[in-house]
Amino acid sequence: MLSSPFIRVDRFSFWYGAKQVLHNICLDIPENEITAFIGPSGCGKTTLLRNINRMNDLVDGIKHEGDIFIDGQSLYDPEVEVISLRKRVGMVFQKYNPFPKSIYENVIFSLRVAGRNAKSELDDVVEQSLRGAALWDEVKDKLHESAFGLSGGQQQRLCIARAIANRPQILLMDEPCAALDPVATLKIEELMHGLKKEFTIVIVTHNMEQAKRCADQTAFFYLGKLIEFRPTLELFSTPKDPQTEAYVRGKFS
């Protein structure tokens, strides 16, 4: 049984110009769990992820039908401000993208933008966020050095620290390990298990082993449609739909 939905995708369809890329998606994502989106390239996983914090609003010529709710509130409610929505929904991208600043300034970037400059608060947020991203012990003696001096895996964990510094409720991760080696990948996966206690996590991944290792629920998409959404172990061991079965058995990618 799924716990109560925290994110509800309700009959959601989406177009880039004349091209429809999502078709009538219905999906209930539970709170404090990890939900993976899998499926072949171009099936719309990232498009759906980027709609959960309305990142796609930045693209010209888009259109949607249906709705997405977070904790019962429509993302398209006129009262919802996109800036405050993005505070509730943090995002980590495929290619780690720290700013050309110190480790410390990267973590508290959004607080600075919001005019929060009290040193004691910033110090506290830096420590809590870096601990949350399992990076504190590795960087606590060089907080004022450039973020670019860190390894790729450390830079991605720094981006996670930056994303959680605002205490979002939801963390969207778009192939967060695609640019990382297997050791750094495992570290991020371990980290996700800890983070889900505090955040509802949605991850897009091409790596089915990663979905199996990390995700509580997995959604399989094909050609812009949601084909199957079930607890991960069930989806991989006893897929109900022949298309899901073909995909998870590696018959197409």
Q: Which residues contact ligand ATP (rule: CB under 6 A)?
A: 16, 21, 39, 41-47, 59, 206
Nearer to ligand ATP, 167 or 212 (CB): 212
Nearer to ligand ATP, 107 or 235 (CB): 235
CB of 197 to ligand ATP, least distance (A): 27
Q: How far apart are the first and last CA of the chain?
A: 29
CB of 25 to ligand ATP, least distance (A): 12
CB of 144 to ligand ATP, least distance (A): 36
The size of the chain, in residues, is 253
CB of 227 to ligand ATP, least distance (A): 13
Nearer to ligand ATP, 45 or 196 (CB): 45
Output the CA–CA distances (angstroms, integers) from residue 114 to 81, 108, 117, 131, 166, in the order listed. Answer: 15, 10, 9, 22, 10
* Phi, psi angle pair for 65, to nearest 5°: -130, 160
* Phi, psi angle pair for 144, to nearest 5°: -100, 10
CB of 244 to ligand ATP, least distance (A): 15
CB of 90 to ligand ATP, least distance (A): 19
Q: Which two tokens stand for residue 111?
A: 């607080």
DSSP result, 15-62: EETTEEEEEEEEEEEETTSEEEEE-STTSSHHHHHHHTTTGGGGSTTE
Nearer to ligand ATP, 6 or 14 (CB): 14
Nearer to ligand ATP, 16 or 69 (CB): 16
The contacts of residue 252 (CB under 8 Å, 6+ apart) are 40, 246
Nearer to ligand ATP, 23 or 101 (CB): 23
The contacts of residue 12 (CB under 8 Å, 6+ apart) are 22, 24, 25, 26, 48, 51, 64, 65, 66, 67, 68
The contacts of residue 219 (CB under 8 Å, 6+ apart) are 27, 35, 36, 37, 38, 226, 228, 229
Strands 217-222 and 200-204, by their bridges, are: unpaired
CB of 29 to ligand ATP, least distance (A): 17
